[in-house]
């Protein structure tokens, strides 16, 4: 029997044994049969370590996804809190969001697979906060809005250049071009 197929069968038997889907004697018999005299305990340890790693990765992905969803919810809540009565609530939401961004950044340093998602979420959250501040505190002042939009685009461009992240560089440059184009063609 081919080695990958054999390994799949052995892993399945170990799973059955671990979760008590078959009696232990049957699993031991099947393991002995398929392992052809190799050490069963060594194989069980390898399989157990692999299953632990898979569970840890799944937990980390779920945790990162939860942080992302919570950040998006905070951003949405920030836009719904438009009255001056709720400005303090908006500030609290903004502070909590920034703290989550900082924690997510530290988490992303340790786990490379989730880093791009958290970076984009952080950039969009900062973008949303800056637009919200402009719309709440400077209602009819387009200069402040455009200044904050340009500052966000410059921040994305600089971050993309320093960290060598193509998606940030492209987003920043395209954002600047769109803002400048809008100023030239539609407001002149």
Give the three-class secondary structure for 78.
Answer: helix
Map tokens 């500030």 to a residue. Answer: 91
Are 163 and 88 found together in one domain?
A: yes
Are 31 and 72 found together in one domain?
A: no
Map tokens 């492209």 to a residue. Answer: 170
Are 140 and 81 found together in one domain?
A: yes
Are 121 and 157 found together in one domain?
A: yes
Are 23 and 96 found together in one domain?
A: no
Digitized pLDDT (tens) for each residue of the chain, 188 residues in all: 457 787 778 778 877 777 777 888 887 788 778 777 665 555 555 555 565 666 677 777 777 777 777 777 766 766 666 555 556 666 667 777 777 777 777 777 777 777 787 788 888 888 988 888 888 888 888 888 899 999 999 999 999 999 888 999 999 999 999 999 998 888 76
Please report the pLDDT score of residue 52 as a whole number: 61
**In what helix (H) or strand (E) does residue 46 lie, and over which residues does it extend?**
helix 40-80
> Is residue 165 situated within a structural domain?
yes
> Is residue 86 situated within a structural domain?
yes
Question: Which of 68, 92, 105, 156 shows the shortest CA–CA distance to 148?
Answer: 156
Domain tally for the chain? Answer: 2
* DSSP output for 16-35: HHHTTSS-HHHHHHHHHHHH
What torsion do the CA atoms of 127, 132, 138, 142 make, to the nearest 10 degrees? Answer: 50
Are 127 and 167 found together in one domain?
A: yes
Residue 8 CB-density burial (10 A; 0-12 exposed, 13-18 middle, 19+ buried): exposed
Residue 71 CB-density burial (10 A; 0-12 exposed, 13-18 middle, 19+ buried): buried
Please report the pLDDT score of residue 51 as a whole number: 59
Are 78 and 164 found together in one domain?
A: yes
Question: Which of 39, 44, 37 shows the shortest CA–CA distance to 17?
Answer: 44
pTM of the model: 0.48
Domain ranges, residue 173: 66-185
> Is residue 45 situated within a structural domain?
no
Question: Which of 41, 42, 43 shows the shortest CA–CA distance to 6?
Answer: 43
């Amino acid at each position: 029997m081919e080695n990958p197929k054999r390994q799949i069968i052995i892993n399945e038997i170990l799973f059955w044994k671990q979760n008590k889907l078959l009696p232990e004697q049957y699993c031991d018999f099947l393991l002995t049969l398929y392992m052809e005299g190799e050490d069963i305990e060594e194989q069980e340890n390898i399989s157990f370590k692999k299953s632990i790693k898979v569970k840890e990765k799944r937990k980390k992905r779920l945790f990162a996804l939860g942080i992302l969803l919570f950040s998006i919810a905070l951003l949405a809540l920030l836009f719904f809190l438009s009255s001056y009565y709720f400005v303090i609530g908006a500030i609290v939401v903004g502070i909590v969001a920034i703290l989550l961004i900082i924690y997510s950044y530290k988490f992303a340093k340790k786990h490379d697979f989730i880093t791009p998602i958290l970076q984009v979420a952080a950039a969009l959250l900062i973008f949303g906060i800056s637009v919200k501040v402009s719309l709440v505190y400077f209602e009819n002042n387009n200069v402040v809005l455009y200044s904050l939009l340009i500052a966000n685009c410059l921040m994305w461009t600089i971050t993309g250049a320093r960290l060598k992240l193509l998606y940030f560089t492209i987003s920043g440059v395209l954002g600047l071009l769109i803002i400048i184009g809008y100023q030239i063609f539609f407001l002149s």
